[in-house]
């Protein structure tokens, strides 16, 4: 039995959906612990592509219990659309559970998010404009609505009769937008409540029972370490805590419940939205990787900015999350390159550092220090064992493992489930030592 947290070790979009889907085969319960519909996980199974935003990736396994935890924020309209979509593709949602204490995204959250981002102008954050930040803000301000509030018609009316007039003042006076009508919103959200009611549970109690029964639990994060509200590239971050510690808060479990933490990182680096990006490619190589890697956001469709692998943020992710193994994705995207660069440090005001700076202004001034490795110039997409990989690709993986001082447990070579090399199953496999006998990290 093992309880594993899967986190993004970069700026999100690392391929966590595929890795979570892969590990869900060995899991009894999959818990999504933070974020909202601003996240997107793409899972490819045979000839079908599933784009999931709120529903945990484990939904594709019919016997797996999937829980949307208390730390998430839920847009009922989009969740219902997602339910309809996966059910139309023949996937059962009978094992989906929704935390009764998760907060709800309302129409005014989306309107405020969009208007606020537009008003920022050149200082915009790069939000998805899905209302996530304002929903979390209301949660912190203690004026939010939770799933359990939707289940109580009179209670919901009472809350909306106070909240909507207050939000209308903001919409009208600050942003010049039309006001919302209490009765219209109430009727709409009561319909959502009827559809979602069969799935609503005390999620932390469900998870506790699973722990007591020694079932395998997979905790699934959204976004990535560098987008964490407390530990990311603030202010260009999300509004929740994607890091491993967020799993305990968002799921409602203690830290002693976690056995392992696996970080997912691309073999290069991408970023969506605004903010500093030291290894960003400004030449044609970035376009090559973007095309080969289909680097477009699952949620927004925005093109992702591409850069070389950044071991500085990799080491930072190891430290912040307590990573004990890695999944490296999209190695095959590098197949055509003559040479591959890896950022091993930053030069700040002429001084080289291996550590991630907390200041966004300082981070923007970082000059990457690179080491260059030879490319392999052959296709790896059909490799299924480490020994199938060309030596240059093995050397590259070994170098990344040494730089971050953690072993690589999984290597992904395409979108399909079968396009994967599993060195070690993080759930069922033995937890190996971080170092070989000679003191070097194992792949």
Catalytic residues: 13, 41
Neighbours of 290 (CB within 10 A): 18
Burial class (CB in 10 A: 0-12, 13-18, 19+), 434: middle
The rounded distance, in Å, linking the Cα atoms of 397 and 393 is 6
Q: SS3 of 51, please?
A: strand
The rounded distance, in Å, linking the Cα atoms of 406 and 5 is 16
The rounded distance, in Å, linking the Cα atoms of 405 and 91 is 39
The rounded distance, in Å, linking the Cα atoms of 390 and 413 is 13
Q: How far is CA 291 from CA 43, 142, 159, 301, 339, in A?
A: 19, 44, 48, 14, 18
Sort strands 420-422 and 408-412 into parallel, antiparallel or unpaired: antiparallel
As a three-state string, the secondary structure of 364-416 is: HCCEEEEEEEECCCCCCCCCCCHHHCCHHHHHHHHHHHHHHCCCEEEEECCCE
- Percent composition of the chain: helix, strand, coil (DSSP 3-state, to 5): 35, 20, 40
Q: How far is CA 231 from CA 3, 137, 222, 316, 317, in A?
A: 24, 18, 15, 10, 10
Token digits for 389?
């990989």
- For residues 184-201, one letter each, b for 16 or more C-beta atoms within 10 angstroms of the residue's C-beta and e for the rest, the string is ebbeebeebbeebeebbb
The rounded distance, in Å, linking the Cα atoms of 410 and 376 is 19
Neighbours of 111 (CB within 10 A): 20
Long-range contacts of 423-431 (CB under 8 A, 24+ apart): 423/386, 424/325, 425/23, 425/26, 426/2, 426/4, 426/23, 426/260, 426/262, 426/325, 427/2, 427/4, 427/23, 427/26, 427/27, 427/216, 427/218, 427/260, 428/2, 428/26, 431/259, 431/260, 431/324
CA angle at 231 for the pair 286 and 126, rounded to the nearest 5°: 50
């Amino acid at each position: 039995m093992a309880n594993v947290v899967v986190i993004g070790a970069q700026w999100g979009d690392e391929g966590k959906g595929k890795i979570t889907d892969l590990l869900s085969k060995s899991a009894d319960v999959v818990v999504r612990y933070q974020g909202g519909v601003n996240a997107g996980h793409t899972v490819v199974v045979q000839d079908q592509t599933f784009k999931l935003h709120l529903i945990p990736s484990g939904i594709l396994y019919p016997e797996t219990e999937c829980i949307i935890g208390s730390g998430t924020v839920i847009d009922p309209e989009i969740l219902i659309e997602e339910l309809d979509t996966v059910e139309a593709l023949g996937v059962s949602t009978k094992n989906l559970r929704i935390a009764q204490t998760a907060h709800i995204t309302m129409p005014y959250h989306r309107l405020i998010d969009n208007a606020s981002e537009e008003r920022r102008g050149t200082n915009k954050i790069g939000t998805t404009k899905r209302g996530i930040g304002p929903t979390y803000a209301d949660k912190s301000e203690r004026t939010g609505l939770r799933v359990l509030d939707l289940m109580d018609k009179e209670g919901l009316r009472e809350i909306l009769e106070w909240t909507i007039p207050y939000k209308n003042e903001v919409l009208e006076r600050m942003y010049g937008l039309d006001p919302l009508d209490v009765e219209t919103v109430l009727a709409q959200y009561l319909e959502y409540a009827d559809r979602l009611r069969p799935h609503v549970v005390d999620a932390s109690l469900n998870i506790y029972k699973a722990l007591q029964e020694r079932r395998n639990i997979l905790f699934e994060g959204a976004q990535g370490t560098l987008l964490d509200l407390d530990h990311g590239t603030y202010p260009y971050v999300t509004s929740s805590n994607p890091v491993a510690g967020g799993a305990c808060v968002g799921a409602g479990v203690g830290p002693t419940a976690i056995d392992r933490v696996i970080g997912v990182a691309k073999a290069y680096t991408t970023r969506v939205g605004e903010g500093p990006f030291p290894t960003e490619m400004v030449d044609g190589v970035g376009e090559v990787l973007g095309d080969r890697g289909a680097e477009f956001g699952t949620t927004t469709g925005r093109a992702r900015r591409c850069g070389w692998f950044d071991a500085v943020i990799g080491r930072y992710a190891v430290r912040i999350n307590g990573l004990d193994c890695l999944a490296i994705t999209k190695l095959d995207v590098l197949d055509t390159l003559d040479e591959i660069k890896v950022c091993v440090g930053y030069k700040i005001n002429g001084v080289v550092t291996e550590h991630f700076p907390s200041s966004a202004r300082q981070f923007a001034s970082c000059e990457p220090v690179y080491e260059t490795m030879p490319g392999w110039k052959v296709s790896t997409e059909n490799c299924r064992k480490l020994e199938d990989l060309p030596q240059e690709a093995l050397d590259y993986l070994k170098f990344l493992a040494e730089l971050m001082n953690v072993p690589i447990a999984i290597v992904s070579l395409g979108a399909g489930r079968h396009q994967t090399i599993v060195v070690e199953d993080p759930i069922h496999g033995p937890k190996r030592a971080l170092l070989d006998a000679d003191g070097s990290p194992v792949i």
